[in-house]
A and B are shown apart, each in its own frame.
Chain A
Amino acid sequence: MTSALTISGLDCFYGEVQVLHGLDLDLRKGEVLCLLGRNGAGKTTTLKAIMGLVPARSGSIVLGDRDLTKLAAHDVPKAGIAYVPQGRRLFAEMTVAENIEIGLMTRNKGSQTRESVLALFPLLRDRLRQRSGTLSGGEQQMLAMARALCLEPEVLLLDEPTEGLMPSMIAKIRETVAKLRERGVSTILVEQRVDAVLSVADRVSFIENGRNRETVGVETLRGDPAFVQRYVGVG
């Protein structure tokens, strides 16, 4: 199977502190790859490195035939990667419509994209004039995903999208990820709990201390709970 995104030997630092140590990761075309790992393992940093928000000191991140580490941060999304940050990071003072507009502007998408994104999240359509900071947690997560999907991305990065949400909202998010998978979007999904991903992921990479310890298919995990214990501890 061909790769959508390949990370090799990635080293990242915050100041003098090294957080990623030669991390390797391979995202295949059309799959949902889940990153599992404890708090502080380096999952968020990996996504930020892909987006160019944390500089790579060495290693490469290849999308198609381009090395993203050579691009300015604001050119990475234009290459077709959309990012839903941990904690959503909406432009809280702006309206729902303005947040969506910023997503559309990234790759010069128009009303057709806007309509198809709003069709995925019909709830947002009734809230277009509302300040996004006043939406409920679940609605904010939907908007964060809608804003990202306005790029019509080839690769989607989702950082703990179900964090702090009600079960019904979690189901809705999962459903959306599955729908996007059908459309051929390659997704990296970061979660802390394995039960949150078994139903949507194709493969799981276990991140520990800034390294990718092992990547396995979900069937393997379903058959062997001990796997998860080893890297993520209880739960």
Chain B
Amino acid sequence: MSFGPHLLLATLEGLVTSAVLALTALGLSLVFGVMRVVNVAHGEFFMLGAVLAWWIASLATGHPAIGFLLALVVSPLIVGAIALVAERLVLRRLDYNPEATIVATIGMLYIIQQLALTFYGPEARPVEAPFSYRILFPWFGYSGYKLSVIAFSAILLLATWFVLTRTRIGLVMRATQYDRETAQAFGIPVGRVYAGVFAMGAMLAAIAAVLIVPIQQAHYLMGLDPLLLSFIVVIIGGLGSLRGTVVAAVLIGLSDGIISVFFSPTLAKIIATMIVAMVLVFRPQGLFGTAAR
């Protein structure tokens, strides 16, 4: 394959990574932005989404699309419910103390992981894609499913943006984020907002995971990579900035795709880590974050 088509292929692969990463990182960023909680267990909600997707799809019979669509709806709901319980039982009792919640979510990480190992096992299992249509470019064929992942993520990101900036729910979330005390003085039940945001963050990770399982198999240790990459994205983009999260996810996803194809995946990781270091040194609030006042 010559350079041009090769680059196109790398770009497409990079965009698939970007799309899934943007959703996952957005969940992490929302939780930190609104609640000031660094959710170390975020990757495990991603893993749970994938493992549950396999389980749900394996229960369904008939066309693979049925199982997949069922998983796309049900798995995030279950993960959201689990996150909600964790929020009420653990984070709220710690009064959302920044240090205590880090330790607590590390605990959650291991608990969820070990439960997955116990009940799901150490195997990696795939979920069949809802359709196997291939787009034929002049130089190569490309998975139609992967393109639909990019499109679906883009729609979901737009929907999140719309909710945050154009609806009352978004207004309430932003008010809670900017000034928790004053928000309460205007009738906003910040406890309930926190619970909702934590569940929503976990659900975004779960949706991303359901989208990825037809491409990459479900495994009980699969949460680590998305967690690290999400942190990278959120640091580069600026915590709590939706635009920054999306831009950084595309940047990291594309550079990962392109550099991995032309050079090596290790180099891609090295460069991503270097970008993080540079951002931390020269622009600690992130590319699109606002400096703390």
- The residues of A with any CB-CB pair to B shorter than 8 Å are 51-53, 72-78, 83, 85, 89, 91-94, 98, 101-103, 105-107, 147
Contact = CB atoms under 8 A, between A and B. Distances in A.
Interface of B: 168, 171-172, 174-175, 178-179, 181-190, 290
Contact of A106 (B179, B187, B190, B290): B187
B226 to A, nearest CB: 29
B178 A102 contact: no
Determine which residue in A89, A102, A103 has the highest number of CB atoms from chain B within 10 A of its CB, and name it: A102
B182 A106 contact: no
B184 A53 contact: yes
Contacts, number: 58
A91 B178 contact: yes
Contact of A92 (B178, B185, B190): B178
Given A98-B171, A102-B171, A77 B185 contact: yes
30 contacts: A51-B184, A51-B185, A52-B184, A53-B184, A73-B184, A74-B184, A74-B190, A75-B187, A76-B185, A77-B186, A77-B187, A83-B185, A85-B185, A89-B181, A89-B182, A91-B174, A91-B175, A92-B178, A94-B174, A98-B171, A101-B168, A101-B171, A102-B171, A102-B172, A102-B186, A102-B188, A105-B186, A106-B186, A106-B187, A147-B186
A51 B188 CA distance: 13
Nearest to B182: A89
A94 B186 contact: no
B174 A107 contact: no
A75 B192 CA distance: 13
Contacts of B174: 91, 93-94
B106 to A, nearest CB: 27
A228 to B, nearest CB: 30
Nearest to A106: B187
A57 to B, nearest CB: 17
A83 B185 CA distance: 7
B13 to A, nearest CB: 36
Contacts of A89: 179, 181-182
B182 to A, nearest CB: 5
A105 B187 contact: yes
Given A101-B168, A102-B171, 20 more contacts: A52-B184, A53-B181, A53-B184, A73-B184, A76-B185, A78-B187, A89-B181, A92-B178, A93-B178, A93-B290, A94-B175, A102-B172, A102-B175, A102-B183, A102-B188, A103-B186, A105-B168, A105-B171, A105-B172, A106-B186
A107 B172 CA distance: 14
A101 B171 CA distance: 9
Given A91-B175, A101-B171, A102-B171, A85 B182 contact: yes
Contacts of A91: 174-175, 178-179, 182
